Amino acid sequence: MNNIKLQGLDADGSEKEYSLNDFKGQRIILYFYPKDNTSGCTQEACDFRDNINRLTNYATVIGVSPDSIKSHKSFKEKQSLNFILLSDPEHKLAEEFEVWKEKSMYGKKYMGIERSTFIIDKSGKIEKEWRKVKVKGHVDEVIEYFEQQ
């Protein structure tokens, strides 16, 4: 586990500081997404939201993006998100998980989040990872992984 501290919003929307060490002893679904309120990220967040009861049988869901707490609050309220969102504006956690990557759109290169999901086991080790995630069907893949355990 790492000790990086980030501001975040709890499942109920209250603001607090988190470190992944806070979750030692429980499994985590840690998913990185590029930007609040964009179509793919909204779809992914809503898929996690809609399946939260199935997922929390296995692990705590945590979403991470470089967006501000203010942006997260708006996103969380607008979409009724029922899990933790962490703000990583300096991409410390994203760099730790090697998901802060050079990307390209319309021929322009820029740095951004590579949509990725990690299952972290109770001891803090990465148990499973999905990189370059395609949103459609991804949450079903995560559930399927747990059901096959």
Q: Could you tell me if residue 63 is inside a domain?
A: yes
Q: Could you tell me if residue 35 is inside a domain?
A: yes
What residues are paired with 6 via a beta bridge? 18
Pairing mode of beta strands 6-9, 84-87:
antiparallel
Active site residue 46: no
**Active-site choice (29, 41, 59, 84):** 41
pLDDT at 50: 98
Asked if residues 86 and 8 have their Cβ atoms less than 8 Å apart, the reply is yes
* Two tokens, residue 87: 């703000």
Average pLDDT over residues 112-121: 97
Q: Could you tell me if residue 1 is inside a domain?
A: no
Domain that holds residue 13: 6-17+25-147
pTM value?
A: 0.95
Quick: pLDDT tens for 2-16: 689 999 999 989 999
Q: How many CB atoms lie within 10 A of CB 107?
A: 5
Residue whose token pair is 């997922």: 55
Res. 129: pLDDT tops 60: yes
Count of structural domains, the chain: 1
Q: Could you tell me if residue 74 is inside a domain?
A: yes
Quick: pLDDT tens for 27-72: 999 999 999 999 999 999 999 999 999 999 999 999 999 999 999 9
CATH number, domain with residue 53: 3.40.30.10
Number of helices (H), then strands (E), in the chain: 5, 9
Q: What share of the chain is helix, strand, coil (3-state, %, to 5)?
A: 30, 30, 40
Quick: pLDDT tens for 101-116: 998 889 999 999 999 9
